[in-house]
A and B are shown apart, each in its own frame.
Chain A
Amino acid sequence: QVHLVQSGAEVRKPGASVNVSCKTSGYSFSNFYMHWVRQAPGQGLEWMGIITPSGDSTTYAQKFQGRVAMTRDTSTSTVYMELSRLASEDSAVYFCARESSGSYRAFDVWGQGTMVAVSS
């Protein structure tokens, strides 16, 4: 069975960085693109970026460019998302999601979400 298990909730001060992990299991890790999506309290879903199956390429939504870094570790089947220079507006639940294989592109499996709170 496919699972994406994310790291626990984090609290950070403004200006700090946060690193969220997403450990995958139940499928061939190296064959799938991975994404990160965030959701501020009471708000909608916001796509942050994508990392290729090999991890050699990333693309970030313009809003996060220069402030986000996505990586993956094949040895542990884990993907990571680091967001720096945090502000209160970055308080949100962060989800990792697997992109489906095949002729369409959709997020078919999701992690449980990681709450990040930014507060002084």
Chain B
Amino acid sequence: DIQMTQSPSSLSASVGDRVTITCQASQGIVNYLNWYQQKPGQAPKLLIKDASHLVTGVPSRFSGGGSGTQFTLTISGLQPEDFATYYCQYYDFSLPLFTFGPGTKVVIK
């Protein structure tokens, strides 16, 4: 089974900061990687699909990159509404198999 890890598990940042979260897969997953944002008491929200494609309506300060085993989510110019937990998600393109990373919590410094 492919395992997903995220680092850091939490980070403290200020409004306006540039923040990067890393997601690592235990083996190569091409670009079958999505990113979600979840705020307390809410359902997750899809931000980025296929590693780097921004979902319609998501602010352009969010960007994704990477392929193979290493992926990043970058927030350029953190806004107050961005303080949340972020999850990466691996999917198998051919099989019904989905795995979430453990999450990264972004808190206010």
A contacts, CB < 8 Å to B = 35, 37, 44-47, 49-50, 59, 95, 97, 100, 104-108, 110-113
Contacts and interface: CB of A to CB of B under 8 A. Distances in A.
B99 A107 contact: no
A106 B46 contact: yes
Nearest to B31: A104
25 contacts: A37-B44, A44-B101, A44-B103, A45-B36, A45-B44, A45-B100, A46-B100, A47-B98, A59-B96, A59-B97, A95-B44, A97-B43, A104-B34, A105-B32, A105-B91, A105-B93, A106-B34, A106-B89, A106-B91, A108-B55, A110-B43, A110-B44, A110-B45, A111-B43, A112-B43
B43 A95 contact: yes
Contacts, number: 56
A45 B100 CA distance: 6
B102 interface: yes
Given A44-B102, A47-B98, A50-B96, A107 B46 contact: yes
